[in-house]
Amino acid sequence: MPRALLSVSDKTGLVELATALVGAGYTLVSTGGTLATIGAAGLPVEPVADVTGFPEILDGRVKTLHPNIHAGLLARDTAEHRSVLSAHGISPFELVVVNLYPFRETVAREGVSLEEAVEQIDIGGPAMIRAAAKTFERVLVVVDPADYGRVAAAVAGGDTGPLRAEFARKAFAHTAAYDAAIVTWLDSAQGEAPGKSLHLTLERAQELRYGENPHQKAALYREGDASGWWDGMTLHKGAELSYLNVFDADAAWRLVHEFFDPACVIVKHANPCGAALADDVTEAYSKAFSCDPRSAFGGIVALNREVGPELADQIMSNVKADVLIAPAYTQDALDRLHKGRKAMRVIQAAAPGRDGFELRRVDGGYLAQTRDRVLGLGANWQVVTRRKPEESEVRDMQIALTVCAYTGSNAIVLVKDGVAWGIGAGQQSRVDAAEIAARKADGRAVGGACASDAFYPFRDGLDAAAAAGAKSVIQPGGSVRDPDVIGAADEHGMAMVFTGRRHFRH
């Protein structure tokens, strides 16, 4: 009679799976809460302590770490191993169902104590998973409740063979991700950011249409057991996503969620070409699109409010967007968005996360850094000119600085009344970036705010901002020529704020 060992933290689908196993003739062996759940369902189940002849001790830290368990998992289907098991009165296991203590979820809770975190470091679970996965030639190991249906079908058919190698691979990936989460937490607890080592376990989440160019293959990977907004998104319409669709959409979605007011961001080639805040999201879209309609063609439109029919009509009447992302759509809006442009992707998604490191490949390794953060008024902002900014100017400076931080360096952004009318991106010269921003603004930012992602090394950049009509400037400061730049701002009657925080983006 085949035996199954079950010990799970997540009880989802447990009773249904146990019922299927009993129906297929399996003897069930279990521990703790898993044992209680199976028993409460009226199913026959044997306690692990009866198999080991030893009670659970040390508050449950030791219960399955015993030869009667691990020999039953690690024995190969050979005459020699069968003889050893027989000599010691040990029966083999043919199936193991284990998922681990919720360590990642525990340490993600605010205020979690060291003791709480340590007690969620599973020892027996990974040991059983790895032992069973090593013996996949005869043992099926199951770590994901989403696979229970396939397991039930396999045991009903009397053959788990087709699943064993696939599930063993999944099991080792599962324990690798678990250990990586523990290392990351220990580094964080010791103030290491980035840590002494980075342990990445990446699971392919989605194959992509192609890479940056059609001849390149690409896929989207998720980090271990983690999840991001891409995992829960709904593609309501459109062709499958490409590498650049994902890359640019992620940039747009992150930027639009920097704002609390109704907002729209339009991104093209990883840089915003339009951004606006307004009283409602329809107005925000109209203004963001007006920033640079030519560059908006084929771009990413990100909105932080529900899309209704009026807004859907506006989007469909303007030049084509490759991707549209919003937190929700009315059914009427979806109906209108489906009437044309078959390739345009319409995505519904939750807000993006803000944790983790940014990684970039270099020869033989990776660059890693913490994410950039744009701090608001009061976070070391220092007015350095004779004139102080008015309240409306402060708001425009904050918007300009936020958009600037999401724009490739060198970057200059001109904002007036909540709209980024001029965005100069990716220039080797800061003056060139200012001139591009001024040309795109075309006089619409006169009286508004200018943001620079780094300090002005000379006053010529400040003079260019004044020529574009900016009345206030926000920049990090820190140049040896700051006095000259401050003097230029005073000459022009501008208000200028130093933040002490650079926002380069490469």
CATH number at residue 43: 3.40.50.1380
Cα–Cα distances in angstroms (integers) from residue 206 to residues 112, 130, 209, in the given order: 33, 26, 10
Contact 395, 503 (CB under 8 A): no
- The whole-number average pLDDT for the span 445-457 is 93
Q: How confident is the model at residue 272 (pLDDT cuts 50, 70, 90)?
A: very high
In a domain, 207, yes or no: no
- Which residues, at least 6 apart from 245, have a Cβ–Cβ distance to it below 8 Å? 208, 209, 300, 322, 323, 345
Does residue 404 sit in the same domain as residue 459? yes
Inter-axis angle of helices 459-467 and 482-491, to 10 degrees?
20
Q: Which residue has the higher pLDDT, 118 or 267?
A: 267
Please identify which of the residues 81, 269, 320, 338 carries the catalytic annotation: 269
Phi and psi, residue 437, nearest 5°: -60, -40
39-74 exposure pattern, b = at least 16 Cβ within 10 A, e = fewer: eeeebebebbeebbeeebeeeeeebbebebbbbbbb
The reported pLDDT for the residue numbered 54 is 79
- Do 31 and 162 belong together in one domain? yes
Residue pLDDT, tens place only, 57-115: 787 777 778 888 888 888 888 888 888 888 888 888 899 999 887 777 777 777 778 77
What's the whole-number mean pLDDT along residues 16-24? Answer: 91
Asked whether residue 504 is domain-assigned, the answer is no
Neighbours of 442 (CB within 10 A): 11
pLDDT tens-digit series, residues 204-217: 888 889 888 999 99
Look at the chain and count its residues.
506
Of 81, 134, 320, 338, the catalytic one is: 134
Instruction: Clarify whether residues 318 and 421 are in a common domain.
Output: no
Q: Supply the mean pLDDT for the chain.
A: 88
Q: Which pLDDT does position 377 carry in this prediction? A: 67
Domain assignment present for 88: yes
- For the whole model, what pTM was predicted? 0.79
The single-letter DSSP state of residue 305 is S
pLDDT at 282: 95
Give CA–CA dist 226/201, Å, rounded.
Answer: 10
Q: What is the CATH number of the domain that holds 321?
A: 3.40.140.20
Distant-in-sequence, close-in-space partners of 77: CB < 8 Å, separation ≥ 6:
137, 138
Helices (H) and strands (E) in the chain, counts: 20, 21
Same domain, 157 and 32: yes
Rounded distance between C-alpha atoms, residue 74 and residue 72, angstroms: 6
Query: At residue 170, does pLDDT exceed 70?
Result: yes
> Catalytic annotation on 269?
yes
Residue 211 within any structural domain of the chain: no
Q: Are residues 387 and 343 in the same domain?
A: no
Strands 3-8 and 234-237: unpaired
> Is residue 356 pLDDT above 80, yes or no?
no
Confidence of residue 226 (pLDDT cuts 50, 70, 90): low
Question: Mean pLDDT throughout 257-269?
Answer: 94
Decide: 164 and 139 in contact? Cβ < 8 Å: yes
**Do 326 and 390 sit in the same domain of this protein?**
no
Do 276 and 397 share a domain, yes or no? no
Burial (CB < 10 A; 0-12, 13-18, 19+), residue 357, is middle
Clarify whether residues 342 and 413 are in a common domain.
Answer: no
Give catalytic status of residue 492 as yes or no.
Answer: no
Tens-place pLDDT, residues 362-399: 888 888 888 888 887 666 788 999 999 988 899 999 99
- Range of 32-46, 196-210, 301-315 with top mean pLDDT: 301-315
- Within-domain flag for 212: no
Interval 468-497: pLDDT, tens: 999 999 999 999 999 999 999 999 999 999
Residues 60 and 171 in one domain: yes
- Token pair 């991707």 is found at 323
Q: Percentage of the chain surpassing pLDDT 90?
A: 50
Q: Are residues 37 and 123 located together in one domain of the fold?
A: yes
Q: How many CA atoms lie within 13 A of 267 on its CB side?
A: 27
Q: Which strand (E) or helix (H) includes residue 498?
A: strand 495-498
How many Cα atoms occupy the beta-carbon half-sphere of 264 within 13 Å? 29
Average pLDDT over residues 299-318: 94
Concatenated DSSP letters of 328-345: -B-HHHHHHHTTS-TT-E
Is 231 part of a structural domain of the chain? no
Kindly state whether residue 505 falls inside one of the protein's structural domains.
Answer: no
Q: Give a yes or no: residue 469 inside a domain.
A: yes
Q: Given this model, what pLDDT does residue 143 score?
A: 92
pLDDT band at 224 (very low <50, low <70, confident <90, very high): low
Contact in structure between 64 and 31 (CB atoms under 8 Å): yes
Q: Which domain covers residue 411, as residue numbers?
A: 382-498
**340 and 450 within one domain:** no
My answer on whether 391 and 339 are in the same domain is no
Q: How many domains does the chain have?
A: 3
Q: Are 397 and 404 in contact (CB under 8 A)?
A: no
Eight-class DSSP state of 66: S
Look at 344 and 192; give whichever has higher pLDDT: 344
Among 293, 327, 348, give the residue marking a domain's end: 348
The pLDDT of 172-177, averaged and rounded, is 87
